[in-house]
Amino acid sequence: MLLVLMLNLVQNAEKANQYLGNFWHQIRVVFAAEVAADWIKHAFISKFNGHDAGLYCRFTVVLVQDVTEARHDTTQPVLDHTHSLARRIGLAQVPLAAIAARFLQVVWGRAVPFFEISPGAQRELLAYAFACLLAAKVLTGILLAGICAEGRIAEETAKAARRKEREVVAARSRINSMSKWWA
């Protein structure tokens, strides 16, 4: 979605001064429409399938387990812990990367002549863009792993508390049954 909007901006770069304000408006409208569509879609899916809202919390727990357990799976070496997440959600990574590469090729082909970038500056710009994208991927992965680790710790703590509560209830019921027997 962002790539299509960026392509739209580059295609209309000739009238960039008057178009830039309209471009930010387009981004806000598209984002708001996506949020509204997803909200309505999930509301209908939950209602007509008889699911409660707590189901999404259970989905979150499963996704957190996928991310945190990916590094500990010794049967298959995993370079990036987000691959298990992408497989679970059903994202097709290669077609998405191909579409992104094609859009970026079109954007680059239109932006270079318009901004009159020299070949040396083009190489520097590509190197900086690659470094920024790589840093964004690494930092996003670290952030995702940290959030998932915190979620996993919270889930394990909640499980331990529920287990302890069940033990206390069981012990109280045994004491009550014994006290009735002795009385």
Average the pLDDT over 137-142 and give the result: 87
Instruction: Select the more confidently predicted residue: 141 or 40.
Output: 40
42 shares its domain with 56? no
Say what the pLDDT of residue 163 is. 92
Select from 90, 97, 96, 88 the least CA-distant residue to 148: 88
115 shares its domain with 28? no
Rounded Cα distance between 42 and 35, Å, is: 11
Q: Tens of pLDDT along 16-26? A: 556 666 777 87
| Angle at the Cα of 136 from the Cα atoms of 133 and 137, rounded to 5 degrees | 85
Helix and strand numbers, DSSP H then E, in the chain: 6, 0
75 shares its domain with 158? yes
Say what the pLDDT of residue 76 is. 64
76 shares its domain with 164? yes
- Chain centroid, CA 157 distance in Å: 24
pLDDT band at 131 (very low <50, low <70, confident <90, very high): very high
Per-residue tokens: 140: 């996003």
57 shares its domain with 6? no
Average the pLDDT over 120-128 and give the result: 89
Say what the pLDDT of residue 161 is. 92
13 shares its domain with 57? no
Domain residues for 13?
1-51
